[in-house]
Chain A
Amino acid sequence: MINIALPKGRLGERVYAMFERAGYECPSIKESNRKLIFENAEKGVRYFWVKPSDVSIYVERGAADIGVAGKDILLEYAPEVYELLDLNIGKCRMAVAGKKDFYDDNQKTLKVATKFVNIAKSYYASKCRDIDIIKLNGSIEIAPILGLSDVIVDIVETGTTLKENDLDVVETIVPISARLIANKASYKFKTEEIEKIVEKMKAQVKFDD
């Protein structure tokens, strides 16, 4: 039996649809109820829905053998897992954004508001830029407007939220998409099953031209 952690929400539903097309369907998952764990013994899979940012924790600690997590979460928390496949869905980018008239003159410490402290720190460390990190948990976009920070580091999908708040992308840090991850010990003892899933999922990935 392979335990699979799926991220709750729209992305998770798209991921499950890929598993279904790959031959790992579990009809009970589509019943509308509050259950969080679904099993198809015949196919040897057990799915469970967890908060997207928790998927890597379930996989790292072996409660799930495999799972699907955003690259943003993998970069931020650096879990000890294998990253076996880029599913090429849930695509967006981690970017620096600021007010339209923002100009970084390098003369003072840059105030950066973000949920992704580690990503922001390592990005600016690679540029040797002195920064003051302000950790926020939501509504990051208002930080530069209210003068709390000079810029924000956040996920940008379409850019609509930024535009509506008079912000612009200053630079892209890294492209983000959903990744299939595996627990290291599970991979050692369920190699064949996990590799088979990876191969079948690979066939479902729509690659960009």
Chain B
Amino acid sequence: MNEAILKHDERAILALRALYRQYGYSSFKMSKFEEYDLYVQNKDFLVSDRVIAFNDTDGRFLALKPDVTLSIIKNTVDEADCVQKVCYNENVYRVSGSTHQFKEIMQTGLECIGAVDLCDCAEVLYLAGKSLATISDEFTLNISNMGIISAILDSACTDELFKKEIIRLIAEKNSHEAIALCKKYSICNDDASKIVALTTLYGGTELLGKVEELCCGNGEAQEAYTRLSELCASLAETDLADKIRIDFSVVNDMNYYNGIVFKGFVSGIFEDILSGGEYDTLMRRMGRTSKAIGFALYLDLLEALDKSRSEYDVDVLLLYAESNSLKQVMAKREELVLSGKSVSAQRAIPKRLRYKELVDIRGEADLK
């Protein structure tokens, strides 16, 4: 197949499917529709809480899928020792943040559900990085551990409103307001400086030492740090080493995500194109005992990378008349196609068609 004719997202789908298959992830095909109730019960988990809902012919209230993860969780079973590894490529329907209108979003990704261990987490992070590498050489995989943030905040203050506000400020890298909020809640200097550090720390794995200092003396934070550093160490030994960033501004909803969270950025795309993390808390909320980690890649954003705009729609505009015989038109068209050119056969010149060469056979009409 000539891959040059494929668009960026089409090439990515093929490459990613092959990558996930190589690592033992089986394709998960699901229906376009899902019971509406599933989303109502977990609406905070969704990027947007609006869904397109309708009544099916049997009266059931359904929704066009705004998310894939919830459907996958619903369709897997808890297994004590095994891990189910699935990948998908689906269209989802949700309100776009920028246009505030419903949009069809092509999403691909994978989920690892079951007795997930450190090895599975490292694999998912590695595949997230490799997924970004299939799209561009210029990318970063930004990793955080929600466990570190929640442990530091828990020891500083028990007020839920404070925690919610500080998490928003960490996500904004907003150190000036974080300082003010710590003052307002009379947080001690030591805890306040740790919280402010979470808003500013950003960089490669060389920052792990500083992160360790932040976690010092806090058992839960230290445990979360160990997990983060072990995962970073495993990635440092791969070809992704220079792409890894420690970034606490990657924060996901604590009601669903509990540990490692990550986002991927590709140069030329103005927002994160990949998002994922460990979502054991969501599993508990859905009555499941298994652990889980996964990520999604938003392929519709790849359009921004398709900068090359071809000068012409076709190589040749083949102009024929009614007086030309069918045999003559087909023979000429095949001659051009076989010479490697793209051809549009028309009886008149279309106003919007950009062609490189005009082949006019109207005067060569043979007698019918």
A82 close to B269 (CB less than 8 A): no
B97 close to A80 (CB less than 8 A): yes
A185 close to B269 (CB less than 8 A): yes
A173 CB to nearest chain B CB (Å): 15
A81 to B168, CA, bound (A): 12
Chain B positions 37 through 62: 1 when the CB is less than 8 Å from some CB of chain A, otherwise 0:
00000000000000000000000000
- 8 Å CB interface, A63-115 against B: 80-86
Please judge, given known A-B contacts A184-B265, A188-B142, whether A80 and B271 are in contact too, CB under 8 Å.
Answer: yes
Contact of A83 among B97, B172, B267 (CB under 8 A): B172
A86 close to B176 (CB less than 8 A): yes
- Any A CB within 8 A of the CB of B140: yes
B173 close to A84 (CB less than 8 A): yes
A61 close to B172 (CB less than 8 A): no
Please judge, given known A-B contacts A188-B265, A189-B138, whether A85 and B176 are in contact too, CB under 8 Å.
Answer: yes
Task: Enumerate chain A residues within 8 angstroms of B140, measured Cβ to Cβ.
Answer: 188-189
Q: Which of A61, A82, A188 has the most CB of B within 10 A?
A: A188
Please judge, given known A-B contacts A61-B270, A80-B97, whether A188 and B245 are in contact too, CB under 8 Å.
Answer: yes
- 8 Å CB interface, B57-92 against A: none
B174 close to A83 (CB less than 8 A): yes
Complex: chain B residue closest to A191, CB-CB:
B202
- Any A CB within 8 A of the CB of B212: no
A154 to B112, CA, bound (A): 49
- Any A CB within 8 A of the CB of B22: no
- Any B CB within 8 A of the CB of A39: no
- Any A CB within 8 A of the CB of B177: yes
Please judge, given known A-B contacts A188-B245, A191-B202, whether A83 and B177 are in contact too, CB under 8 Å.
Answer: yes
Q: What 8 pairs between A and B have smallest CB-CB spacing?
A: A62-B270, A82-B173, A83-B174, A86-B176, A188-B265, A83-B172, A188-B140, A185-B265
Mark A residues whose CB is within 8 Å of B.
Answer: 60-62, 80-86, 182-189, 191
Q: List 25 A-B contacts (CB under 8 A).
A: A60-B270, A61-B98, A62-B271, A80-B271, A83-B172, A83-B173, A83-B174, A84-B173, A84-B174, A85-B176, A182-B173, A184-B249, A184-B265, A184-B272, A185-B266, A185-B270, A185-B271, A185-B272, A187-B173, A187-B202, A188-B140, A188-B265, A189-B138, A189-B267, A191-B203
